[in-house]
Structure formats: structure tokens, C-alpha cells
Structure 1
Amino acid sequence: MELLCNAPAHASVPDRYVFPPEKRAALQLDGVDGPDDGVTLPVVDLHRAALSGDDGLRRRVAEEIVRAGKEFGFFQVVNHGVGEDVVRGFRDAAAEFFAMPVEEKMPYCSDDQSKPFRLASSTSYDKSETRYWRDYLKLQCHPVSDELVRHWPMEPTSFRPRLAEFSEAAHELAQTLLSLVAEGLGLRADFFAGDLSGGETQMNVNYYPPCPDPSLTLGLLPHCDRHLLTVLSQGDVAGLQARYNGRWLLVRPVPGAFVINFGHQMEIVTNGALASVEHRAITNSAVARMSVATLIMPKMECRIGPAPEMVDDETNPAKFREFVFSEFMEAYNTAAASREDVLDSFRIHRD
């Protein structure tokens, strides 16, 4: 398997990474900065007080999250309670892993999506011969158990304990956010608890090396997430873009923040109130970029459909049929992550 993280620096982009002009990014980054388009994602201050007894403040934070979600599908959160040492600890350990000699990483290389820990390149949803400028780790990260941890690499020595610590913290934050989303929508606080968020939590650690000509490449294809909620640590290097009003909005890093976005299951359960928004990754020529995405999944056997509270037969009828999550996963893979193609399999079409 070819890995970008072990390749010598390229003077030019190899042909296999060059996209046709119609698929290239219209907005490119030069280093960590990009053009200012005048629109930025909302930054929600979670205020630890909002989570510890101040009902009025908690209600305002919940409403702010839902407003941000309805307009953008993405927002950033600060004062979230995850320590900077926890975030930095795992990011440093993951960077050490990518920097290891190729022979030490090769045992983890695999395109077998059933493996609980694997290293790969480009993306499994790429149906063309053109490759994305990306290496990645895909792993199960929660609930943490001895059986799960034994699949994680022993080197660097900090990797296992730092991953376990980060995974627990990110999962707790996700559950807090799901509770706030529910309250902001007028649902009971534990609406998303149980099977809807109780699947095996996945993590993608994406590594994008410097690219000699970002105008020719993409880091990751435009897609929507298949699960319920994503908690993303993107570090201090920009590269994530979200679709907004028909154009691509650069998600600028905010110190200490997590980027939050909703997956397809959130859109379906809320009957379209909170949409899953298309996003992609672009490359830059100056520095490597690494993002850590924690993906909150339903259980495979979970039955999913619009919540009755989000449906009104006269003014807002159900937009999606009920299904089992495993069926959705199959449709997502078949549709190669295409937003409209996958959702069309579950929409209720009315004359």
C-alpha cells in the first residue's frame, strides 16, 4: 500500500492525484490562511455552568446550538470541558505514529473495513482512479475495553493511553451535545440516548501532508456523514470546507475548539430540521494537517425514522421512511457517500 506519509517530498503532484478541472476545489489555501469570504461558523460557548445547574443558561445554550445547526449544519464549541492536555496528548501521539518508519506501520495497513484498527490512504469511497491526498487511521475507539485496546498499536508507547483518554472525553462531550440538541428541539433530554447513539464509536484520524500544488488535488471528497454526530479536532491548520448557500465555506480554526456537525441520522430523526451538510477537505503547500473525527453511531439493529414529535401530518409530514441502521450503511456504501443518492433511498416520495 502506498502511503503519502512515508513518501519523499514531491516536486510536483503525481498524475494519480490530479483531479479533472471540474472536480478541483475552487478555493485553495496557501499555508494556514485562506481568502476571507466574510462568513464564519458560529462559535458556541458551552459554559460549564450551563451543564451544572443553571437551567436558564443551559436553555439558551441549547437554543443557540439548534439555531447554528439549522443555518449551517456545522458549528464550533469552546469551554467544552475537554482538557487541552487531553487533546494535545492524543494529537501528538497520532503524529508520532504517522512519522514512524514505514516498516513499523505496514502491519496495520489494510483496506478491510471490518478491522477495528487500520491504516490506509485516499478513501474507500473513491470510485475513480484518481487518489485523494490523504492517509488515515480508521478505528473503533469506544467503549474502551482490554479487547479493543489490544488492536491499537503499542508504538509509540503513548498511543494507547492517550487514545483511551481522548476517546472517553470526546464521547462524553458528544453525549452532552446530544442532550442539548434534544432540549433545543423540545424533545426530552435523553432522546438520543440508548440505541440511537449506542453503537461502537468510530474515529478517523486524517493526515494530509503538504502538497506541491493544491490547485490540482483534494484531500477528501465532498460527502455527508452517515452517522448521528461528529466531534472534530482540526488543530490549528485550516482545510475543512462546509457547503453553505451553494458555495464552500472555509472552517477557520478556533483555539481550543471542536467542530461539530450532524450526520444523516440526525437529519432523518429530526425530519429535516437539522440537516447533514456536505463537506470536504482541501490541501495546502506549506504544512501537514491532521484532523481527528469522533463519530457517534447508532447500533446496527437500531430502528430509525422521524421522531413523532418532529412530524405533523398536515404541515410537516414525515420525509423519510423507517429503516434499520444496517440497511442505511449498505445504501451509503453503494451510493459512494453521495448525499442525494443515499437519502433518496429513504425519502418518502409524494405526488
Structure 2
Amino acid sequence: MDSLLSTMEFHQTVPEQFVLPPEKRVAGEINTSVSLPVIDLRGGPHCYVEDRDKLIEQVLQAGKEFGFFQVINHGVSEQLMKDIMGVTEEFFNMPKEDKAAFYSEDTSKTNRLFSSTIYGKDGPRYWRDCLKLACYPVPETINEWPDKPTKFREVLAKFIVEAREVSMMLLTLICEGLGLKEGYFEGDVSSGQVLINANYYPPCPKPDLTLGLPPHCDRNLITLLLQGEVSGLQIMHQGRWVGAAPVPNAFVVNFGHQLEIITNGILKSVEHRAVTNSGAARMSMAVFIMPTMESFISSAKELINEENPPLYKSFLFKDFLRIYTDLSAKRVDVMEAFKVNG
């Protein structure tokens, strides 16, 4: 518990274990001339969209060019988004004795509170605290969530259902746009755990010495991120880092490795990282749609032909997770491991 950044009153220096080797530190200019596409979902999952073809085109184009985009008018209310960020902030601000039951450095535990992220046995530590929870189906998971603050469970239960609906809407649009059979992304490929990472990045006295999260790609199918009002997310685009400026009441959407493999590389899982700052604490809430552990992942047959042979091997999702962890989530290494003839 003493290693939790959120339990310390202030940080005047960066502890040695958080100081990155020079080659891993933030370097180079940020490309400020490029911004992520912002897509209007016209009301979200339960709204009939007249210009559906145009919406599908926008989603696919953003996915092909960036692998990231932001969505507005997605159907999750502004009040609910404020509420989930509010109760999460309350959680991190609680006395450490109230959080002690959830604290664990055991990476095999699904539900836990921990400090930092360590990739590799002797890797550096990163400047964040994280509350990780399995959240779906709600009736099967809710009793394992923190019961403090008082409304935490109530708010998260509503939020996770609505956030998942937005994710499934986007997957349906992608399915239609790529000509896959109806319901392709339903079933095992999207009915595994819905995980959240509630992230807290305190002000850092020397942001140039550390990172909140290292460059990585997500291991799952699709991710929704509620990133709050403080900037920190950066995306690799055409060899340069691009900042994802917060858009009010928007979700940042990005594709995981599984979606890139299923679409045979049409849609990309793109490297991203979290940087720190010295002026303000930053919070974010990431929602990960996961396949079941026994889900069989392969490139969709509809997207394979003589001109477009399969780029990736087929595998069980549980086997992918093992290799992803062994390779410290590095995109080049992970994708190379699953390439045909890789």
C-alpha cells in the first residue's frame, strides 16, 4: 500500500524506480497539426440513423487511417459520465485503509488496486495507480466491486452496460461496412469479460523522466476511453506522436489486436501511451471488450482471397494473452509472433 501514488501527499522528486532509461523517455516533437477524427453517432445504440452508410464510412476511414477516433452523441448521458468520474475520483481519494482490501501486486488477480505497471520482470515502473475490475455481466460481478464510496457500485453498474452498448454498436457498423455476416462480432469474440481500468496519474515533478503508460497496443477487441479534462493520451501516427486532446463528453475509441487480426490488417491496432504533467492530476476510465478465453480467433473468411491471403495465424485467445504478456505488450514483437511465417 505504501507504493500507491494516490496515498502520498505530494511528490517533490521522482523516486528512482520510476525514472526511465533515456531511450524510453518522452522525446521528439508532438505533431500538433493532426487531430483525431470526431464522429457523431447521432444518439447512440438506440437511435435510428438515416445516413447509416455515411456513418459506417466515417468509422472505417478513421480506423484505417488512425486506429483511433472520438465519438460524441453516443447515448451515454453527460450526467452519467460525470458520475462515473466523480465516484472514481472519490475512490482514489479515500484513506489508504479504506482501499487496502483491494490492493494487490498479484498480476493474476482480475480485481485489484495497484501502483504502476511493470512490463518485464525487471522493467521500470510507470507513474499511475490503477483500479482494475471485471464488470460484466453485472449481476455476476457487482459484489466483487468496491462498496466505497457509497454510490460506486450503482454508478458503475449503469455506466458499464451503456458503454458496452456503444462498443457493440460500433462493432455492428464495422461488421456491415466490411461485408461480414450479420452478428459476426457477437458471441465468443465479444462476450468475454468487460474489464475497466480506472487510472489515476498524480502530478509528476519531472514529467520528462517518466511515463504514465509505455507505448503499447491493447490486447482485446475494442476499447472505449473516458479521458476526463486533462490531456495525457498520445497516439503513434505516421511515425510521430499525436496528442488526443479531450473533447467534452466524448469517448476515445481504439481497436485492439484482435480486431486487427480478424479484419486481416484492414483495421489497425495502434500504439499509444500516457504522458505525465507537473500541474494537474489526470484520471481516465478505459473499458475493454474481451473475447472469451476459449474464443477461436482467425482472420474472417470473407476478407480472405487470392489477392489478400491471411496475414495472421489462428489461435485461442488465452494463448494470445500468454504470448502478449511474455513479450511485454510490444506491438512489433506481438504481431510478428502471430504473423503467418512469423
TM tier, smaller: over 0.9
Matched with 1:205 is: 198
CA 1:307–1:16: 2 relative to 1, 3 Å: same
SS at match of 1:148: helix
The amino acid that maps onto 1:191 is: Y
Give the counterpart of 1:338 among 314, 322, 330.
330
Matched with 2:131 is: 137
Give the counterpart of 1:323 among 315, 320, 328.
315
The amino acid that maps onto 2:14 is: V
Distance (whole Å) between structure 2 residues aligned to residue 52 and residue 171 of structure 1: 16
For normalisation by structure 1, the TM-score amounts to 0.93
The amino acid that maps onto 2:106 is: D
Distance (whole Å) between structure 1 residues aligned to residue 248 and residue 163 of structure 2: 17
Matched with 1:190 is: 183
Distance (whole Å) between structure 2 residues aligned to residue 182 and residue 210 of structure 1: 41
The amino acid that maps onto 1:140 is: A
Matched with 2:157 is: 164
For the 8 Å contact 1:231–1:260, the answer to whether it is kept is yes
Give the counterpart of 1:252 among 215, 238, 245.
245
Matched with 1:9 is: 10
SS at match of 2:195: strand
1:142-153 map, 5 Å: 142-145=136-139, 147-153=140-146
Matched with 2:95 is: 101
Structure 1 residue 27: Cα displacement: 5.8
For the 8 Å contact 2:44–2:75, the answer to whether it is kept is no
Matched with 1:243 is: 236
For the 8 Å contact 2:128–2:202, the answer to whether it is kept is yes
Structure 2: gaps (5+ residues):
none
Structure 1 residue 256: Cα displacement: 0.8
Deviation readout 1:242-261 (Å, 9 max, x if unpaired)? 10000111000001100000
Matched with 1:282 is: 275
For the 8 Å contact 1:16–1:129, the answer to whether it is kept is no
Structure 1 residue 213: Cα displacement: 1.2
Distance (whole Å) between structure 2 residues aligned to residue 116 and residue 156 of structure 1: 20
Number of residue pairs matched?
341
Distance (whole Å) between structure 1 residues aligned to residue 268 and residue 197 of structure 2: 21
For the 8 Å contact 2:225–2:253, the answer to whether it is kept is yes
Distance (whole Å) between structure 2 residues aligned to residue 10 and residue 116 of structure 1: 29
Structure 1 residue 51: Cα displacement: 5.7
The question of 1:74 aligning with 2:75 is answered: no
Distance (whole Å) between structure 1 residues aligned to residue 121 and residue 174 of structure 2: 35
Give the counterpart of 1:111 among 84, 95, 105.
105
Distance (whole Å) between structure 2 residues aligned to residue 139 and residue 49 of structure 1: 25
Deviation readout 1:23-67 (Å, 9 max, x if unpaired)? 111269xxxxxx671100000011138964444x11110110000
Give aligned-pair identity as a percent.
50
For the 8 Å contact 2:264–2:310, the answer to whether it is kept is yes
Deviation readout 1:167-221 (Å, 9 max, x if unpaired)? 1111111111110111122223421111110101111111100011111110001
Structure 1 residue 320: Cα displacement: 0.7
Distance (whole Å) between structure 1 residues aligned to residue 122 and residue 106 of structure 2: 19
Matched with 2:40 is: 45
Structure 1 residue 129: Cα displacement: 4.5
Distance (whole Å) between structure 1 residues aligned to residue 28 and residue 47 of structure 2: 42
Give the counterpart of 1:294 among 287, 294, 308.
287
Structure 1 residue 20: Cα displacement: 1.7
For the 8 Å contact 1:76–1:259, the answer to whether it is kept is yes
For the 8 Å contact 1:225–1:262, the answer to whether it is kept is yes
Structure 1: gaps (5+ residues):
29-34
Distance (whole Å) between structure 1 residues aligned to residue 159 and residue 28 of structure 2: 32
The question of 1:90 aligning with 2:91 is answered: no
The amino acid that maps onto 1:180 is: L
For normalisation by structure 2, the TM-score amounts to 0.96
Distance (whole Å) between structure 2 residues aligned to residue 217 and residue 209 of structure 1: 12
The amino acid that maps onto 2:127 is: W
CA RMSD in angstroms, aligned pairs only: 1.7
